[in-house]
Chain A
Amino acid sequence: QKEVEQDPGPLSVPEGAIVSLNCTYSNSAFQYFMWYRQYSRKGPELLMYTYSSGNKEDGRFTAQVDKSSKYISLFIRDSQPSDSATYLCAMWRTGRRALTFGSGTRLQVQP
């Protein structure tokens, strides 16, 4: 079993929809969480960084962490075709100086 599970998609939604992207993790040692957006053939771009259970909002993006359920989510409101990309969750585990990534979810927003 992988330490971090993420549905690979693809997820196809119409423009303007609310998108929900999710990751689950198995080890409570994961304490700090990030969401990246990666366009084809480009490097990952950091969207959100959180460490507390609860919600954090930045523009159209909301990151949600539920440490009791070992579950994190990224919500995208009013999705745009330019949001079409692969979204990667990543997290720091106590005692390891390297990120652990989910497998990435490919999102397509249809005009």
Chain B
Amino acid sequence: DTEVTQTPKHLVMGMTNKKSLKCEQHMGHRAMYWYKQKAKKPPELMFVYSYEKLSINESVPSRFSPECPNSSLLNLHLHALQPEDSALYLCASSQDGTRTEAFFGQGTRLTVV
């Protein structure tokens, strides 16, 4: 099983709302990632968790707050987003974050109104 599950699939939120994106994998992977993807662009790295510790934050605005409650789960908390934050948010995982295959979820399509 190489599945990374993301919920919800679609999310519409107002600029004053607080919402969370969730990601789950059961492959025993110890590295998990959040990416943001705009139309016709490649995925853009936001955060990397390695062994449940935040190892990379690509200077993401504080209105995005990641959380890794355990080795299988990854959350992205959203607050006071802007319309330009509308995008496909992708979660991915890999065994050790250095050389092995990386698997992506199907993404959450976020629209900020």
Contacts and interface: CB of A to CB of B under 8 A. Distances in A.
B97 A44 contact: no
A44 B90 contact: yes
Contacts of A101: 42-43
Interface in B12-45: 31, 33, 40-43, 45
B42 A43 contact: no
B110 interface: no
Given A36-B104, A49-B101, A90-B102, A97 B48 contact: yes
Contacts, number: 60
Nearest to A8: B40
Sort chain B's interface into a size bin: 20 to 34
A interface secondary structure, majority: strand
**Which one of B2, B33, B43, B50 has the greatest number of beta carbons of chain A within 10 Å?**
B43
A29 to B, nearest CB: 12
Sort chain A's interface into a size bin: 20 to 34
Given A43-B90, A98-B56, A31 B107 contact: no
A97 B95 CA distance: 11
Given A41-B109, A43-B90, A99 B56 contact: no
A27 to B, nearest CB: 15
A104 B99 contact: no
B98 A97 contact: yes
A42 B48 contact: no
Given A98-B45, A104-B42, A43 B102 contact: no
B55 interface: yes
A106 B42 CA distance: 11
B98 to A, nearest CB: 6
B108 to A, nearest CB: 10
